[in-house]
Amino acid sequence: MFVELMPLLGERTVMITVSRTSQNSIRVNLIPSRKKEDENAGLTTPLSFSGTPEELDRELGSSLASYVDENLRLQTTLTEAKAEMEAAAKAARDQARAKAGQNAKKQEDAAPKEPAPESATPTEQNMTLFAAERK
């Protein structure tokens, strides 16, 4: 039983409870602990076995090995998915920054490069109906 449990113990603490449920029956509970508060609950799903001591001796090891394999596979899948999502988010941010930079450059390029001629006086620029009478 403990040989099968070792790979999971390398990743997290596991609490084991054993209780007698009847004259000839035992219940074994394996409860993996969380490493972080925000960790996926699927990685800490408890496992419970009930049976006679002989049945548990015979079948607990193989059932536990299967449980540990699936738990580790789920952990790997979640880690890979998280890394892929972070990489996609980073690429999207980089692409948005590049696009914003290109738009800013286009706006700078489209702006007039030569200043407006300053030969005109302010009065000529703001002509009124009575401008001719003042001269």
Q: State pLDDT tens for residues 20-59.
A: 999 999 999 999 988 888 788 788 889 899 999 999 999 9
Sequence spans of domains, the chain: 2-108
Q: What is the pLDDT, as a whole number, of residue 38?
A: 77
The average confidence (pLDDT) of the chain is: 83
pLDDT at 128: 66
Q: Residue 118: pLDDT band by 50, 70, 90 thresholds?
A: low
Q: Read off the pLDDT of each residue in 106-113 and give the average, rounded to a whole number.
A: 68
Return the pLDDT at 100: 83
Question: What letter does residue 103 receive in the DSSP assignment?
Answer: H
Q: What is the pTM of this model?
A: 0.57
Task: Identify the sign of the CA torsion 61, 66, 67, 73.
Answer: positive
What's the pLDDT score for residue 127? 64
Q: Which helix (H) or strand (E) holds 79?
A: helix 53-110
**What's the confidence (pLDDT) of residue 105?**
75
72/83 Cα distance (integer angstroms): 17
Per-residue pLDDT of 6-23, as tens digits, reads 888 888 889 999 999 999
For tokens 């536990």, the residue is 64
